[in-house]
A = this chain, B = another copy of it.
Amino acid sequence: MVRRIEHIAVAVKDVEASTKLFETLLGINGSGIEMVPEERVKVAFFELEGSRLELVQGIGSDNPMSKFIERRGEGLHHLCFEVEDLAETLRLLHAAGFPLIDSVPKPGSRGTRVAFLHPKGCNGVLIELVEQPSRA
């Protein structure tokens, strides 16, 4: 069902500063900053073999990312797994008793479809599932 870790996301206060920090740490360049106003965040990515590291900063104060940092500080925020058929995966997980934040897929970046599972059903881990756009 799940094939790979598509990305792991880190909540940060200042995505520009954190990009520089992770560029030094990883020895590779980040993607540059992307604004995602509909999610009230700005993000940067680091492309790694088979996976990505995502840095996420909230825009303004009233957004889930800034609230997360107020509550828990900067750090690991969520884990995203790639699945082949997201709608079917959500049906199976709901039937298996997993609490879903999104019971149906919603649009993600770059033509993907995404959904979040509730961390209370996943040992405290906020899990995103992503389906890549069809290559047909």
* A positions within 8 Å CB-CB of B: 1-5, 8, 10, 12, 18, 21, 24-28, 48-51, 53, 55, 72-79, 81, 93, 96, 98, 117, 119, 122-125, 127
Contact = CB atoms under 8 A, between A and B. Distances in A.
11 contacts: A3-B49, A5-B48, A8-B79, A10-B124, A21-B122, A21-B123, A24-B96, A24-B98, A49-B50, A51-B51, A75-B119
B49 A26 contact: no
Give this chain's copy count.
2
A75 B48 CA distance: 23
Contacts of A26: 1-2, 81
Contact of A12 (B78, B123, B127): B123
